[in-house]
């Protein structure tokens, strides 16, 4: 009989200890001691001690999850699911987007694995990472023989580079950088808020 | 009124006042946890789960409003008693004054609807 009651109480205290994991160790110990003392005093008050009596005293004490929620609230500890973890995947994606060629390609793929960025953010990352494809295609098209249909007599070489060609040549390097900065800013905006999906 | 609404209303009211009820219970004598909790529990609607008082006591101790001392018990192991500090006494006195003023104003509005 006594052992059964002891097991009930032990299970209750273990459950409470589990629920209090994110409290500082000192606070957790103190709270467990106080609840333990409460149970000891409440048991001494039961005359005679019955299993039903002990069950009811634990019930009056309340659900360990409620006590833990109150402890987090009163003692200023943030609930665990809300605490943001370091977004390693997102950081790796941003770093890759700054590394030419292989980094760009990997970044454009990795960005889709993130759960912090929205679809629009991911599209921006992809465009940035794959800008060299567009740039390459554009350069090929612009450089195709016959395309400079300038006025007769004007030597193409002396007019300097075509502005479109400059843009096409620079874009593959600038766009990934811009995308990386944009994604970084979006990530900072997300950091405080809990992720929409757990 | 919807039960859920009534519940949340009571929770809201309890939120800010419970700690002063604890301080008030300690005004005249130190009490050990079980005694304190059972006395509070006897007041209608103040405490739903007794165990939630202990985080509150931890908070009051951290804020220096309450201290604990150990006393022999007539039966069983020594007990941890909670007692008011001077600062706890001041906090309780301040709350009591403000509470009288506040409840007085609310009472008047509830009864007359501010028509006079």
Residues A184 and A95 in one domain: yes
Report residue A93 as tokens.
Answer: 């994606």
Residues A76 and A109 in one domain: no
Domain boundary among A40, A62, A82: A82
Pick the residue with more confidence: B99 or A22? B99
Q: Residue B107 has what pLDDT?
A: 94
Omega prior to A67 cis, within 30 of 0 = no
Q: What ipTM describes this predicted complex?
A: 0.88
Phi, psi of B85 (to 5 degrees): -90, 175
Q: Which of B35, B55, B77 sits opposite A74 (nearest CB)?
A: B55
Most confident stretch, A20-24, A113-117, B5-9: A20-24
Q: Is the pLDDT of residue A77 over 80?
A: no
Tokens 């999906």 correspond to what residue?
A: A197
Question: Does any domain span residue A169?
Answer: yes
- Spell out the residues 6+ positions from residue A70 whose beta carbon is closer than 8 angstroms to its own: B52, B55, B56
Residues A56 and A150 in one domain: no
CA–CA distance from A159 to each of A66, A154, A156, A164, B55 (Å)?
Answer: 77, 8, 6, 13, 79
Q: Which domain holds residue A131?
A: 88-191
Residues A62 and A133 in one domain: no
pTM: 0.60
A29 has a chain B CB within 8 A of its CB: no
What is the rounded distance in angstroms from the CA atom of residue B52 to the CA atom of residue B116? 43
Residues A76 and A146 in one domain: no
Q: Do A31 and B55 touch (CB under 8 A)?
A: yes
CA–CA distance from A185 to each of A73, A92, A109, A188 (Å)?
Answer: 31, 15, 19, 5
Surface of B (51-110) touching A: CB under 8 A? 51-52, 54-59, 62, 75-77, 79-80
Q: Residue A195 has what pLDDT?
A: 42
Q: Do B37 and A40 touch (CB under 8 A)?
A: no
Q: Residue B114 has what pLDDT?
A: 59
What is the rounded distance in angstroms from the CA atom of residue A126 to the CA atom of residue B28? 70
Strand spans (E) along A79-190: none
Question: Does any domain span residue A197?
Answer: no
* H or E stretch at A68: helix A64-74
Residues A52 and A129 in one domain: no
Q: Is the pLDDT of residue A153 over 60?
A: no
From the list A94, A93, A175, the residue with the least C-alpha distance to A133 is A175
Q: What is the number of domains present in chain B?
A: 1
Question: Does any domain span residue A138?
Answer: yes
Q: Do B77 and A40 touch (CB under 8 A)?
A: yes
Question: Percentage of chain A with pLDDT > 70?
Answer: 82
Residue A110, CB-side half-sphere exposure with 13 Å CA sphere: 20
Report residue A155 as tokens.
Answer: 């030597």
């Amino acid at each position: 009989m006594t052992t059964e009651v002891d097991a009930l109480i032990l299970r209750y205290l273990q459950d409470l200890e589990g629920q209090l994991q994110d409290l500082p160790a000192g606070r957790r110990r103190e709270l467990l001691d106080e609840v333990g003392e409460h149970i000891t005093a409440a048991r001494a008050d039961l005359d005679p001690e019955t299993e039903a009596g002990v069950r009811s005293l634990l019930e009056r004490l309340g659900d360990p999850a409620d006590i833990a929620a109150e402890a987090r609230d009163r003692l200023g500890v943030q609930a665990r699911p809300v605490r943001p973890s370091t977004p390693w995947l997102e950081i790796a994606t941003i770093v890759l987007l700054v590394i030419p060629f292989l980094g760009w390609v990997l970044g454009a793929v990795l960005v889709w694995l993130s759960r912090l960025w929205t679809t629009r953010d991911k599209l921006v990352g992809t465009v940035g990472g794959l800008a060299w494809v567009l740039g390459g295609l554009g350069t090929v098209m612009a450089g195709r023989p016959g395309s400079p249909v300038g006025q007769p007599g004007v030597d193409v070489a002396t007019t300097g580079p075509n502005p479109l060609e400059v843009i096409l040549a620079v874009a593959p390097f600038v766009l990934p950088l811009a995308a990386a900065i944009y994604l970084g800013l979006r990530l900072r905006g997300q950091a405080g808020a809990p992720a929409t999906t757990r | 009124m919807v039960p859920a609404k009534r519940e949340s209303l009571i929770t809201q009211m309890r939120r800010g006042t419970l700690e002063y009820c604890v301080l008030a219970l300690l005004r005249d004598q130190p009490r050990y946890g079980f005694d304190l909790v059972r006395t509070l529990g006897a007041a209608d609607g103040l405490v739903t789960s007794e165990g939630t008082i202990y985080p509150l006591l931890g908070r009051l101790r951290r804020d220096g409003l309450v201290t604990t001392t150990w006393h022999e018990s007539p039966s069983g192991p020594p007990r941890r008693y909670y007692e008011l500090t001077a600062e706890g006494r001041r906090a309780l006195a301040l709350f009591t004054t403000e509470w009288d003023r506040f409840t007085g104003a609310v009472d008047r509005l509830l009864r007359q609807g501010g028509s006079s």
